[in-house]
Amino acid sequence: MVKLDEIQKRLIREIADLHEVPAGAYNFRANSALAGRNTTANIDIISKEDGSGIDIHIKPGTVHESVHIPVVLSESGLKETVYNDFFVGEDSDVVIVAGCGIDNCGSQDSEHDGIHRFYVGKNAKVKYVEKHYGSGDGQGKRILNPVTEVYMEEGSSMEMEMVQIKGVDSTERTTIAELKKKASLVVRERLMTHGSQRALSVYKVLLQEEGSSADIVSRSIARDRSYQKLDACIVGNAPCKGHTECDSIIMDEGTILAVPSLEAHHVDASLVHEAAIGKIAGEQLVKLMTLGLTEKEAEEEIINGFLA
């Protein structure tokens, strides 16, 4: 059974597209307590003995299964640090949906710092989706500081989709990955900040062995007086391929810092980065206005497309 109130259910819908209890394994956490858990024959979820988080064990060869581990905070003033460790067995193929929603109507800050570690076994495939969302009109801030560590064995692959579009006042995201032979990592990050929000995102990806590859693409929009910093570093220590792309739209009085960096320690490391920051092109607005949209509607279409 999953015990959630209406606000919590709404948060869950925002971060995980879940309208009911999902099939497969799940662990729902609401206001720092367990609100529901399900395990399957192949996926086990165990609370850590010291209460600091959970361990998720996915048996080798598990295919077409999913794990949902949403976290919601709806009380003002909560601050928590949670450690979730994923042990993904060899040759498995799974979808993992995490995400955190905070509703803060009170005057104290609410903060969730989730530390996720992934041990991805040989030839395993993981699709990981993480959405962040904030709501509530209290003075208290909504703060999320996720740390994601990924250790990828030979031939494994991981696709990460990270989305934060609305309502998070302050975020510091750190993503660290280490890839062995022929492992591949794909990251798609979408970020939009409003008001006086701040968002920092740091990536450090180490391509350790032959044939490993990483592709990190971030698209972001900074509106109002918000601040963003993206720091994406790929290190090539073997014959490998790495690509980073930071593509940002700046609006109003926003600030964007893009600091992509590449480090090669092997002559066959092929590393590329691209970074572009600009405002919405005037001709794009004009085109959509000739199709009958107002300037505001045109802007929304361009933003929606950009973040799609």
Partner 1 sequence: MLELKNISFSVNTDGTEKEIIHNLSLTVEDKKFVVITGPNGGGKSSLAKLIAGVEKPTAGRIILDGKDITDLSITERAQEGIAFAFQQPVRFKGIQVITLLRIAAGKPLSVSEACNYLSEVGLCARDYIHREVNASLSGGELKRIEIATVMARHSRLTVFDEPEAGIDLWSFQNLIRIFEAMRVNIQDSSMIIISHQERILNIADEIAVLANGRIEQFGTREEMLPKLIGTSSAQDACSRLK
Which spans of this chain sit near partner 1 (rule: CB under 8 A)?
219, 247, 281, 283-284, 286-295, 301-302, 304-308
In the complex with partner 1, the residue whose CB is nearer, 112 or 190, is: 190
Smallest distance, Å, CB 210 to partner 1? 31
Of residues 114, 111, 103, the one with CA closest to residue 174: 114
Of residues 206, 262, 204, 258, the one with CA closest to residue 227: 258
- In the block, tokens 């709806």 appear at 74
Smallest distance, Å, CB 190 to partner 1? 10
Q: How far is CA 154 from CA 7, 42, 89, 158, in A?
A: 43, 22, 12, 12
In the complex with partner 1, the residue whose CB is nearer, 43 or 288, is: 288
Smallest distance, Å, CB 283 to partner 1? 5
In the complex with partner 1, the residue whose CB is nearer, 259 or 286, is: 286
Smallest distance, Å, CB 37 to partner 1? 37
- Do the beta carbons of residue 172 and residue 200 sit within 8 Å? yes
d(CA 17, CA 79): 25
d(CA 301, CA 307): 10
In the complex with partner 1, the residue whose CB is nearer, 186 or 217, is: 217
d(CA 169, CA 225): 12
Buried-state track 122-141, b at ≥16 Cβ within 10 A, e below 16? bbbbbbbbbbbbbbbebebb
Residue 212, both tokens = 């490993």
Smallest distance, Å, CB 134 to partner 1? 24
In the complex with partner 1, the residue whose CB is nearer, 263 or 301, is: 301
In the complex with partner 1, the residue whose CB is nearer, 33 or 308, is: 308
**157 strand-pairing partners:** 125, 184
Smallest distance, Å, CB 295 to partner 1? 7
Smallest distance, Å, CB 248 to partner 1? 11
d(CA 161, CA 217): 10
Smallest distance, Å, CB 275 to partner 1? 15
d(CA 113, CA 78): 11
How many other β-carbons are positioned within 10 Å of the β-carbon of residue 47? 13
In the complex with partner 1, the residue whose CB is nearer, 62 or 220, is: 220
In the complex with partner 1, the residue whose CB is nearer, 160 or 288, is: 288
